[in-house]
């Protein structure tokens, strides 16, 4: 009998039959309020459906098979599974306006509730998503709706100081 | 081959070969309150947002979290601090998700605002800034997140800064604390 016939969550036992399984939660945490001007990001536009970026030089990723970059990033890739996602952004306005930012899948479908802020309540806000996928997929942050968002140069360090992403694998 | 040869984190499988493994070993502390102590208190930069600590409104499943009683030095309270917490000491090593929903009232001036973020008593910023503000008609609360990994006890609190306009902890009945919320979620075993 081969001990390798028994595999749990992709983990094979040792030759003595012992499994080493983690009971910790798997998560991604990105964004701790770092200060970096948005003009140093790869962003080229703040129009509707433009890619939006968040900043962290030392993100934490404990989800096996998931990937996310560091510095300025706009996307993340998750393996098959179910995930709870919360994210936060803030932008600067040039006049009375509003902005909504959401998560888009590879088919450019908006799959989250967008975080939305406006000039009157100038504050960071939060969006949420429940992702249930059967294979690897990459997701991207995009501006779902914008009115009078200031230029990239005028964003200064406001986006980086307020951005946050937390992904918890729930199944 | 004996089924007991299959060892999962030190536990053996059942006779039928099944094994119970905890995927999420989360522990939670949550707090809220429907009432304020009645007086108006001005919030200033450097203050810690005070959470009520009352058994009627708290659910603490996390062992190893110690409440730090509010003081006049660190909170807007001149009196009646003893029912409130200004910080929480997390005693056990591990990784935690910190989530709070502070709520202020403002001096009715559009544009009044204050920034909050999680910090620790070592002087570290633990998470992003978030902003609470007023548009002249509505007061907006917000959520403050942080994820921390500690190897020794750490005292954390929600720090207030970047105030503009008048910021108080009351002024509209008891909304300030009835909308407040705190959760500490342990992410590691």
Residue A121 pLDDT class (50, 70, 90 cuts): low
> Residue A30 is part of which domain span?
25-169
Residue A31, domain member (yes or no): yes
Residue A39, domain member (yes or no): yes
All residues of chain B having their beta carbon less than 8 Å from the beta carbon of residue A125 are: 142
| Spatial distance between the Cα atoms of A53 and B112, rounded to a whole number of angstroms | 28
Residue A9, domain member (yes or no): no
Number of domains chain A is built from: 1
Residue A10, domain member (yes or no): no
Give the start-end residues of each E strand in chain B: 7-8, 11-12, 28-31, 51-52, 58-60, 65-69, 84-90, 94-100, 105-106, 113-120, 130-134, 139-140, 144-150, 154-164, 167-168, 182-186
What would the pLDDT profile of A49-83 be if each residue is shown by its tens digit?
Answer: 999 999 999 999 999 999 999 999 999 999 999 99
pTM across the whole model? 0.80
What CATH number does residue A67 fall under?
2.60.120.40
Residue A32 vs residue B187, higher pLDDT: A32
Residue A12, domain member (yes or no): no
Which is it for the CA torsion A46, A47, A48, A51, positive or negative? negative
Residue A14, domain member (yes or no): no
Interface of A with B (CB under 8 A): 1, 6, 8, 13, 16-21, 23-25, 27, 29, 31-33, 60, 86, 88, 90, 120-126, 161-164, 166, 168, 170-171
Residues linked to residue A115 through DSSP beta bridges, in sequence order = A101
B7: closest chain A residue by CA: A18
All residues of chain A having their beta carbon less than 8 Å from the beta carbon of residue B23 are: 23, 25, 171
What would the pLDDT profile of B87-146 be if each residue is shown by its tens digit?
Answer: 988 888 888 888 888 877 777 667 788 899 999 999 999 999 998 887 766 767 788 999
Residue A84, domain member (yes or no): yes
Q: Which domains occur in chain B, in start order? A: 24-186 (2.60.120.40)
Residue A159, domain member (yes or no): yes
């Amino acid at each position: 009998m081969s001990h390798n016939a028994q595999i749990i969550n992709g983990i094979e036992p040792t030759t003595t039959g012992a499994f080493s399984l983690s009971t910790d939660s798997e998560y991604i945490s990105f964004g701790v309020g770092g200060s970096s001007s948005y003009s140093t990001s790869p962003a080229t536009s703040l129009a509707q459906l433009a890619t939006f970026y968040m900043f962290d030089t030392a993100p934490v990723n404990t989800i096996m098979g998931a990937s996310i970059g560091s510095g300025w990033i706009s996307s993340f890739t998750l393996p098959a599974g179910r995930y709870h996602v919360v994210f936060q952004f803030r932008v600067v306005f040039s006049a009375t306006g509003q902005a909504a930012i959401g998560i888009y899948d590879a088919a450019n479908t908006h799959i989250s509730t967008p975080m939305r802020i406006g000039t009157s309540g100038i504050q960071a806000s939060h969006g949420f998503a429940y992702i249930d996928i059967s294979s690897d997929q990459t997701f991207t942050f995009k501006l779902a709706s914008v009115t009078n968002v200031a230029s990239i140069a005028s964003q200064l360090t406001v986006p980086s100081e307020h951005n946050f992403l937390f992904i918890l694998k729930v199944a | 081959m004996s089924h007991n040869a299959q060892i999962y984190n030190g536990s053996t499988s059942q006779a039928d070969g099944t094994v119970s493994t905890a995927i999420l070993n989360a522990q939670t502390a949550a707090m809220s309150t429907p009432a304020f102590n009645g007086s108006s208190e001005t919030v200033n930069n450097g203050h810690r947002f005070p959470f009520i600590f009352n058994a009627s409104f708290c659910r603490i499943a996390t062992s190893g979290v110690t409440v730090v009683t509010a003081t006049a030095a660190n909170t807007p309270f001149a009196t009646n601090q003893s029912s409130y917490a200004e910080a929480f000491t997390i005693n056990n090593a591990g990784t935690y998700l910190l989530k709070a929903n502070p709520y202020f009232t403002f001096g009715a001036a559009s544009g009044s605002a204050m920034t909050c973020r999680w910090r620790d008593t070592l002087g570290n910023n633990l998470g992003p800034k978030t902003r609470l503000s007023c548009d002249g008609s509505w007061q907006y609360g917000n959520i403050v997140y942080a994820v921390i990994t500690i190897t020794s006890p750490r005292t954390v609190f929600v720090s207030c800064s970047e105030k503009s306009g008048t910021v108080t902890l009351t002024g509209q009945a008891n909304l300030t604390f009835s909308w407040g919320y705190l959760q500490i979620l342990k992410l590691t075993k």
